Amino acid sequence: MERVKVTWFHAVRGCVTVRIAGSGTERLLSDAAGDGIELLALRRTSPGEIECIVTVGDFFRLRQHLRRTGCRLRIVGKRGLPFQLARIGRRKFFAAGLVLFFIGLYLLSSLIWRIEIEGNERLTDEQILAAARAEGLHVFQWSFRLPGAEELSRRLNTALPGTAWVGVEKRGTLVTIRIVETTEPEPRTLLSPRHLIAKEDAVVTRITATRGRPVVKKNQRVKKGDVLISGILGGDGLHVNVPAEGTVRGLVWHEYEITSPLVRKAKTYTGERRTVWHAVLGDRSLKVSGFGEPPFAKYESVLRQENAAWRGIVLPIGRIRETQLEVTFVERRLTEEEAAAEGLLQARADILRKAGADAVIRAEKILHRKTENGKVYMKVLFEVEQSITDEMPLVQPQGE
Amino acid sequence: MRRINHRLRQWTARVLELPQDVVFDLPRLTMIGDRQLYIENHRGVLHFSPDMLRLALPNGKLEVSGKDLVIRGIWTEEVFVEGIITQVSING
């Protein structure tokens, strides 16, 4: 039988293919059409018989007209949703399987399959998972048994120490726990018991002990190695050792030998320049422009390589730009005073570098100066106020 | 009276430029090549065979001849015929 297409609308309602035989088929058709019955795919199979498709509803109305016109009706085929449902109704196990499949799909998709943890540094994943499990959040848990995400976040935040914020996000079968940990101050460095002693011979200008017992006073002269702040508190058999802390500043004298030449040589650029290009392939280069001897007596070359690149990949093809800069050397002759001032400047910078950033030069005195062989020789005494502390660990006497 | 009524209708149709089938209860035929024929406003099937379909009209008859004629659908007012149509004659 030729399978005639019917619209989905007809298929949902169910269609019956019928054959009608008899002498008054034309009358039947007219009557049926007049009654509003929809006949589809009507064709004549033999002189006394026609075949057509009617919907299930129209089929029962068609039967009323059969008797009047004296035709007989025979059902050839059925199709559509009502008939398929009836067929499923006969296949009980298949239908049950179908239902079970959807139930299984629903149940499996309402399980928590995976938990991801983000943003933890100090807390381990295990700690967080344990806290989550205590709140009922674990793998293979039913989604509908979980409290709301906000409630979970709040509870986890209180359960986990050292978290500033916890976010729980559920996306289908995946739960993401985001953690922001609190920032804690760095722990204080542990110090072992010690004295603070003098680094140099000095006169104390200021002494403040934040821990320990100050031994020296202001304006007191100390020698290198003298105890400034003692780490031993108490005395006479009842004492405790502490790490001494504090600042001690004092005046320190530095004697400095300075040598400063009278003639200075300086390199200067004249401003004349020339550009030479090289082509580069791999690690070989070839000069392509700027042939011939450079027109300068003395010059410096500045090389700059540019390689071709494509999408971040540097290719082994490129060019080198060589800039030749003419230089001249200029000799500068200084007076004795200028040379001495320059030497002092250098000496001061050097002293401050050695004595520490908070050092201050209080006074300076030129003890001796002479000019010989084109150089100025000087001996200078600097009075510098600086930190004079050094550490000396206190060694616990073992046993008695 | 009937005559006046008829003339009034004719005049209305002319003035308002209405399609004739609406005014005079005439059949409307839509034919697509020689394959499909759509007939509106019929009054029943008089004869149906693969070579010939004869339909009743409000005033007259319609004959469709051809080969392998099939009625794709038949409703109260319309008929949809498919097949190889060679001839359509009306009131012949």
Average pLDDT of chain A?
Answer: 87
For residue B30, the model assigns a pLDDT of 93
Beta strand A114-118 with A174-181 is parallel
**What CATH number does domain A8-85 carry, 2.60.40.1250, 1.10.730.10, 3.30.70.260, 3.40.50.300?**
3.30.70.260
For residue A1, the model assigns a pLDDT of 39
Whole-model pTM: value is: 0.41
In the structure encoding, which two tokens stand for residue A261, read together?
């030449």
Residue A172, Ramachandran bin (φ over 0: left; ψ between -120 and 50: alpha; else beta): left
Average pLDDT over residues B35-59: 91
**What CATH number does domain B26-90 carry, 3.90.550.10, 2.60.40.1290, 2.60.40.2000, 2.60.120.260?**
2.60.40.2000
Domain assignments of chain A as residue spans, ordered by start = 8-85, 114-181, 194-246, 257-262+333-387, 264-332
The model's pLDDT over A176-199, given as tens digits with 9 standing for 90+, comes to: 999 998 888 888 777 788 888 998
- Using a CB-CB cut-off of 8 Å, the residues of chain B touching A40 are 72-73
For residue B92, the model assigns a pLDDT of 65
Chain A residues 6-25 within an 8 A CB cutoff of chain B: 25
In the structure encoding, which two tokens stand for residue A31, read together?
């009557």
3-state secondary structure of A259: strand
Chain A nearest-CA residue for B52: A44
Percent of chain B with pLDDT strictly greater than 70:
99
Beta strand A232-235 with A245-261 is unpaired
Chain B nearest-CA residue for A42: B71
The model's pLDDT over A158-179, given as tens digits with 9 standing for 90+, comes to: 988 888 999 999 988 899 999 9
- Using a CB-CB cut-off of 8 Å, the residues of chain B touching A36 are 75-76
Q: Which DSSP category does A243 fall into?
A: B
| C-alpha gyration radius of chain A | 52
Closest CA–CA distance from residue A29 to any residue of chain B (Å)? 6
CB B72 to CB A40 under 8 A? yes
Average pLDDT of chain B?
Answer: 88
Q: Alpha-carbon distance A128 to A180, whole Å?
A: 12
Q: How confident is the model at residue A2 (pLDDT cuts 50, 70, 90)?
A: very low
- What is the complex's ipTM, to 2 decimals? 0.78
CB B71 to CB A26 under 8 A? no
Average pLDDT over residues A112-128: 90
Alpha carbon distances (Å) from A275 to A136, A279, A283, A284, A294: 75, 13, 21, 19, 10
CB B50 to CB A39 under 8 A? no
Domain assignments of chain B as residue spans, ordered by start = 26-90
The model's pLDDT over A7-63, given as tens digits with 9 standing for 90+, comes to: 788 888 889 999 999 888 888 888 888 888 888 888 888 888 999 999 888 898 888
Chain A nearest-CA residue for B50: A44
Which amino acid is located at B89 in the chain? S
Q: How confident is the model at residue A106 (pLDDT cuts 50, 70, 90)?
A: very high
Percent of chain A with pLDDT strictly greater than 90:
20
Average pLDDT over residues A338-366: 87
Concatenating the DSSP letter of every residue in B22-71 gives HHHT--EEEEETTTEEEEES---EEEEETTEEEEEETTEEEEEEEEEEEE
According to CATH, the superfamily of the domain at A114-181 is: membrane protein fhac (3.10.20.310)
Chain A residues 51-110 within an 8 A CB cutoff of chain B: 52
For residue B84, the model assigns a pLDDT of 94
